[in-house]
């Protein structure tokens, strides 16, 4: 490593040679500087006021020069000083330049790489179907009614005309809340087995005439299989007015099924039984798969059962008679459908459990 040596002579030749030696060393060291940190060490080594090489040059060359030569040595040392400053400065530009280049290289963004895909959420096929059904009835001027999932025996059964020993009240069908034995039966809590209790709740709050559609989640103590699941969804409808007839019911549901599934859809009504309607009917629609001729899905009948419905039983109106529902003055119809059943028919899903498995590969198909 270069050190400043004492001059034995102060002649021009001797000075030239010493300056050449110094500058050669300086250039060589400047070439080695490749970072900011290295450059700072390099600068201090050559230019530090306290013991830098230029300071040493001042001491060993200029101050040591005999009187007559001081002037010339002084000029040479000044020239040398500005030369050193120049070279040190250039080294800094190079060092920081190469630092920037390295950083640019490191932080380089490859604009040709594919972007990061952030998938958007979508409605679950059950919720989507439920919204579609509700929308059909909203377009007919129906309001939306909602009620609690934890319901009392009164709203879920008694006010809907379920006789005390009706099998639906059996624990095999209904999930009861534990520890209710001390309460009277009508106050005991359970998970609602249908959305129908909201009919009574809605009539208690709203005098006739009413048109209401009631979407919601219901519970039964079913063992899961291809067509049963302990949780499912229903959309219930209720229309009460003076002079509502079975013809209104048929027309409304026929229109709703065509609005939901297409104008080629036909409906068929045949007798059934529900405690809260009289007369009652099941509604079948044209088979989604074969369109009528018969196939395995419709068990060769050409029809798929999709809804239950009927005229509101006057006994139900008796429970809300004081709210304006005099069974001698008003009549109405009610209907209900399982949303999963509609979704399965619409999309050709063979197993209801797929709708609750949370498998994204399955659900993505409906996004
Ligand atoms: Zn069929």
- In sequence order, the β-bridge partners of residue 182 are none
| Residue 90: per-residue pLDDT | 86
How much is the pTM? 0.66
Expressed in angstroms and rounded, the spacing between residue 252 Cα and the centre of ligand 1 is: 24
| Residue 168: per-residue pLDDT | 67
- Does residue 172 carry a pLDDT above 70? no
| Residue 255: per-residue pLDDT | 95
Half-sphere CA count of 325, side-chain side, radius 13 A: 27
| Residue 234: per-residue pLDDT | 96
Q: What length is written for the chain?
A: 367
**Banded pLDDT at 222 (limits 50, 70, 90):** confident
**Whose CA is closest to 69, among 26, 148, 12, 25?**
12
Expressed in angstroms and rounded, the spacing between residue 297 Cα and the centre of ligand 1 is: 5
Question: Mean pLDDT lowest for which of 90-94, 198-202, 359-363?
Answer: 90-94
Q: How much is the average pLDDT of 153-173? A: 81
- Does residue 290 carry a pLDDT above 80? yes
Give the whole-number percent of the chain exceeding pLDDT 70. Answer: 99
Q: How many CB atoms lie within 10 A of CB 110?
A: 5
| Residue 285: per-residue pLDDT | 92
Expressed in angstroms and rounded, the spacing between residue 251 Cα and the centre of ligand 1 is: 24
| Residue 242: per-residue pLDDT | 94
Distance CA 189, CA 210 (A): 28
- Cβ proximity of 269 and 252 under 8 Å: no
| Residue 171: per-residue pLDDT | 61
Question: Mean pLDDT lowest for which of 22-26, 33-37, 248-252?
Answer: 33-37
**Banded pLDDT at 6 (limits 50, 70, 90):** confident
Expressed in angstroms and rounded, the spacing between residue 301 Cα and the centre of ligand 1 is: 7
Q: How much is the average pLDDT of 344-366? A: 89
pLDDT digits (tens, 9 = 90+) for 77-104: 899 899 999 998 888 888 777 667 777 8
Expressed in angstroms and rounded, the spacing between residue 129 Cα and the centre of ligand 1 is: 21
- Does residue 299 carry a pLDDT above 90? no
Expressed in angstroms and rounded, the spacing between residue 223 Cα and the centre of ligand 1 is: 27
Distance CA 30, CA 34 (A): 9
Give the whole-number percent of the chain exceeding pLDDT 90. Answer: 49
pLDDT digits (tens, 9 = 90+) for 117-148: 887 888 999 999 999 999 999 999 999 999 99
Expressed in angstroms and rounded, the spacing between residue 25 Cα and the centre of ligand 1 is: 96
Tell me the three-class secondary structure of the chain, residue by residue.
CCCCCCCCCCCHHHHHHHHHHHHHHHHHHHHHCCCHHHHHHHHHHHHCCCCCHHHHHHHHHHCCCCHHHHHHHHHHHHHHHHHHHHHHHHHHHHHHHHHHHHHHHHCCCCCCCCCCCCCCCCCCHHHHHHHHHHHHHHCCCCEECCCCCEEEHHHHCHHHCCCCCCHHHCCCCCCECCCCCCCCHHHCEEECCCCCHHHHHHHHHCCCCEEEEEEEEEECCCCCCCCCCCEEEEEEEEEEECCCCHHHHHHHHHHHHHHHHCCCCCEEEEEEEECCEEEEEEEEEECCCCCCCCCCCCCCCCEEEEEEEEEECHHHHHCCHHHCCCCCCCEEEEEEEEHHHHHHHHHCCCCHHHHHCCCHHHHHHHC
- Dig out the tokens for 363 from the structure: 């659900």
First to last CA, the chain: 73
Q: How much is the average pLDDT of 197-211? A: 95
- Does residue 166 carry a pLDDT above 90? no
**Residues with Cβ within 8 Å of residue 324, at least 6 apart in sequence:** 207, 208, 330
Distance CA 88, CA 43 (A): 6
Expressed in angstroms and rounded, the spacing between residue 230 Cα and the centre of ligand 1 is: 27
Q: How much is the average pLDDT of 280-299? A: 87
Q: How much is the average pLDDT of 317-321? A: 93
What are the φ/ψ torsions at residue 15 (nearest 5 degrees)?
-65, -45
Tokens 């209801």: give the residue. Answer: 352
Distance CA 224, CA 353 (A): 7
Expressed in angstroms and rounded, the spacing between residue 286 Cα and the centre of ligand 1 is: 8
Q: How much is the average pLDDT of 286-315? A: 88
Expressed in angstroms and rounded, the spacing between residue 131 Cα and the centre of ligand 1 is: 26
């Amino acid at each position: 490593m270069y050190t400043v040596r004492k001059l034995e002579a102060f002649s021009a030749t001797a000075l030239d040679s010493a300056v050449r030696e110094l500058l050669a060393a300086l250039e060589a060291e400047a070439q080695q500087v490749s970072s900011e940190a290295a450059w700072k060490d390099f600068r201090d080594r050559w230019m530090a006021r306290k013991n830098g090489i230029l300071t040493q040059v001042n001491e060993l060359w200029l101050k040591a020069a005999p009187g007559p030569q001081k002037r010339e040595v002084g000029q040479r040392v000044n020239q040398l000083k500005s030369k050193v400053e120049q070279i040190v400065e250039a080294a800094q530009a190079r060092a920081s330049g190469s630092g920037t280049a390295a950083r640019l290289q490191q932080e380089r963004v490859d604009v040709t790489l594919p972007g990061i895909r952030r998938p958007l959420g979508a409605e679950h096929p059950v919720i989507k179907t439920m919204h579609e059904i509700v929308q059909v009835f909203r377009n007919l001027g129906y309001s939306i009614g909602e009620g609690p999932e934890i319901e009392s025996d009164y709203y879920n059964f008694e006010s809907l005309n379920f006789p005390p020993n009706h099998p639906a009240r059996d624990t095999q069908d209904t999930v009861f809340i534990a520890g209710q034995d001390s309460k009277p039966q009508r106050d005991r809590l359970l998970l609602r087995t249908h959305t129908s209790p909201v009919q009574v709740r809605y009539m208690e709050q709203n005098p006739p005439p009413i048109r209401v559609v009631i979407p919601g989640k219901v519970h039964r103590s079913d063992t899961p299989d291809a067509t049963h699941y302990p949780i499912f969804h229903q959309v219930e409808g209720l229309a009460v007015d003076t002079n509502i007839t079975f013809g209104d019911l048929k027309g409304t549901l026929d229109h709703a099924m065509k609005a939901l599934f297409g104008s080629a859809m036909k409906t068929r009504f045949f007798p059934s039984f529900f405690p809260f309607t009289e007369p009652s009917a099941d509604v079948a629609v044209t088979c989604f798969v074969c369109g009528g001729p018969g196939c395995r899905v419709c068990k060769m009948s050409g029809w798929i059962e999709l809804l239950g419905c009927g005229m509101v039983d006057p006994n139900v109106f008796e429970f809300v008679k004081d709210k304006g529902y005099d069974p001698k003055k008003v009549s109405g119809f009610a209907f209900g459908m399982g949303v999963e059943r509609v979704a399965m028919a619409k999309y050709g899903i063979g197993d209801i459990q797929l709708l609750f498995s949370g498998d994204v590969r399955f659900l993505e198909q409906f996004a």
